[in-house]
Copies of this chain bind each other. A is one copy, B any other.
Amino acid sequence: MRPLPGNELCYLSIREASQLLRRRKISPVELLNATLERIERLNPELNAFITIAAERALEDARRAQREISRGKNRGPLHGIPLPIKDNIETQGIRTTAGSKILSHFIPDRDADVVSALRQAGAVIIGKTNLHEFAYGITNENPHYGAARNPWDTTRVSGGSSGGSAVAVASGLGFGSVGTDTGGSIRIPAALCGIVGLKPTFGRVSTRGVVPLSVSLDHVGPLARSVDDVSLLLATISSKEHPFRAAAASEPKGKSRRARFTLGWPRNFFFDRVDDEILAAIEAAVKLLEKRGAIVRQISLSHIADSAGAGTNIALAEALNFHQSSGFYPARANEYGPDVRARLEQGAKISAADYLHALGERPRIAAEFNAALAEVDAIVAPSAPIPAPRIGETVVRIRGEEETVRSALVRVSRPANFTGHPALSIPCGTTSEGMPIGLQLIGSHWNEARLLEIATLYESETDWHKRRPS
């Protein structure tokens, strides 16, 4: 085999790179070096990384190289360079959570997901940019700068796992692990044109993750293909809730027929969506219908109630973490103004409101469950708008004004409230070339079904193969 140029190497899928590593066509050190060179070239503009752990990564890659050359096989992540969101603790590698307060924090343990990735032989190449303390959705970070959208660097990447999405979309890593409290994996995945999965609440351990809101926090994978997301999920799922990745996807002909039912929500999810995004979602659903999927209208009349309830939970739990860690109010002046304002707002939530909000979950989850008893997945946009410009705080959707923050999380956060798994997959671009994400929401613990549907869609389209120039 002739050597692949760096660009092509860096855009291999995890599955492809793994096969080349296993057959010793490339080595873990070569793969790492190609990735590090690309990071060096592109990160100054994109600002995807807060910390690049080149030396530590080189050690890991060398170990993987020795193991592979001895015939030891740790599975598909063995020797694969992965960046990790910087609110996930990495032993010996600085973990800032995007904050000034933790700017010198070097954990003495790995988060459970990082242990699992290391055990699987992954090479942790660095820590990706995020909204400060993951408490925001644009990744405009006052301490480390905005993670810039690789499709248009005047635009945000989305947050809070923006750095992870930028890195993966730009070939600065083969996949990443992020966190999602209100859409923080799915939104940047959608805005940057990659695949992101928020698993079922409880599937992936949050131990060693700097918490935002313990009742809503989820850890999950971002990657350039459904198959790669599935491989990552299989590795990071907890022992108590294991997930087995499907076997390598076979080449699929147009003849393959869908055998599933999609639910199109009459309420809430399509209430105020950008025209081009609505058209892309409709086209995606039409395509799946042509391949045999059945589409049903479904009714979710209480789902809107989850917004206020989820906000109260997050406000209260976030404040509790920042108080009990001793960060707030003692170091209030070290927070960015948006996060500080939200902590101040948290003090206004009463315990009764908080407990009431928690008590709303079964009722609203039951509504999803009733719909999901009839359909395999609920379709929605991942976000109702494409990536806004950096600095923009208000958008206009179909003539109505809405804050960027409210618009971005509006259709992603219900699945955090109810704990249902939800996935974002690229399904189009706007006239300005910005990626659009299709959201699929599935039954608790049935990530497999969501990934199966997404795999079929992916096999019929090329959206996931587009690369930012």
State how many angstroms separate the Cβ of A207 from the closest Cβ of chain B.
Answer: 14
Contact of A351 among B324, B354, B359 (CB under 8 A): B354
Question: Which chain B positions have C-beta within 8 A of A356?
Answer: 320, 323-324
Q: Which residues of B contact A317 (CB under 8 A)?
A: 355
- The answer to whether B355 touches A316 (Cβ under 8 A) is yes
Q: Which of A50-58, A259-267, A342-350, A413-421 contacts B (4 or more CB under 8 A)?
A: A342-350
Binary flags per residue of A409-435, CB closer than 8 Å to B gives 1, else 0? 000000000000000000000000000
Q: How far is the CA of A312 from the CA of B320 in the complex (A)?
A: 14
Query: Could you say how many copies of this chain the assembly holds?
Result: 2
- A319 close to B (CB within 8 Å): yes
Interface residue from B315, B351, B353, B359 paired with A353 (Cβ < 8 Å): B351
A320-B359, A359-B324 known; A312-B352 Cβ under 8 A:
no
* Total residues of chain A contacting the partner, CB 8 A: 20
Q: Which residue of B lies closest to A319 (CB)?
A: B352
A354: nearest residue on chain B (CB-CB)?
A: B351
- Name the one of B346, B348, B354 contacting A354, with C-beta atoms under 8 angstroms: B354
Which of B315, B346, B348, B350 sits near A349, CB closer than 8 Å? B350
Q: Compute how far the CA of A243 lies from the CA of B320 in the bound complex, rounded to whole angstroms.
A: 37
Enumerate chain B residues within 8 angstroms of A323, measured Cβ to Cβ: 352, 356
Contacts of A351 in B (CB 8 A): 312, 315-316, 319-320, 346, 349-351, 353-354
B359–A352 CB distance below 8 A: no
Q: What string of 1s and 0s marks CB contacts (under 8 Å) between A284-322 and chain B?
A: 000000000000000000000000000010011101100
For A320, give its contact among B315, B349, B355 (CB under 8 Å). Answer: B355
Residue of B nearest to A320 (CB): B355
The smallest beta-carbon distance between A41 and chain B, in angstroms, is 45
* Chain A positions 335 through 376: 1 when the CB is less than 8 Å from some CB of chain B, otherwise 0: 000000000001111111111100100000000000000000
Shortest A308–chain B CB gap in Å is 14
Does A316 contact B349, Cβ atoms closer than 8 Å?
no
Chain B: minimal CB distance from A364 (Å): 14
Give chain B residues whose Cβ lies under 8 Å from the Cβ of A349: 350-352
Task: Say how far A329's CB is from chain B's closest CB, in angstroms.
Answer: 11
* CB neighbours of A354 from chain B (8 A): 316, 351, 354-355
**How distant is A437 from chain B, measured CB to nearest CB, in Å?**
32
A214 to chain B, nearest CB (A): 9
CA distance A323 to B353 in the complex (A): 10
The answer for the CA separation of A349 and B348 in the assembled complex, in Å, is: 10
Tell me how far the C-beta of A330 lies from the nearest C-beta in chain B, rounded to whole angstroms. Answer: 15
A213 → chain B closest CB, angstroms: 11
Task: List A176-201 residues whose CB lies under 8 Å from chain B.
Answer: none
- In the complex, what distance in Å separates the CA atom of A348 from the CA atom of B350? 7
- State how many angstroms separate the Cβ of A346 from the closest Cβ of chain B: 6
Q: How far is the CA of A355 from the CA of B355 in the complex (A)?
A: 10
User: What 1/0 flags go to A74-105 for Cβ under 8 Å of B?
Assistant: 00000000000000000000000000000000
The chain B residue with its CB closest to the CB of A355 is B320
Measured between alpha carbons, how far is A354 from B315 in the docked complex, in Å? 13
Q: Smallest Cβ distance from A75 to chain B, in angstroms?
A: 35
Q: Which 10 A-B pairs have the closest CB atoms?
A: A316-B351, A351-B354, A320-B355, A349-B351, A319-B352, A351-B351, A324-B359, A320-B352, A350-B350, A347-B352
Binding site for B on A (CB under 8 A): 312, 315-317, 319-320, 323-324, 346-356, 359
Given contact pairs A323-B352, A347-B350, a sample of 20 additional A-B residue pairs in the complex whose CB atoms are under 8 Å apart: A312-B351, A316-B351, A316-B352, A316-B354, A317-B355, A319-B355, A320-B352, A320-B356, A320-B359, A323-B356, A324-B356, A346-B351, A347-B352, A348-B350, A349-B352, A350-B350, A351-B351, A351-B353, A351-B354, A354-B355
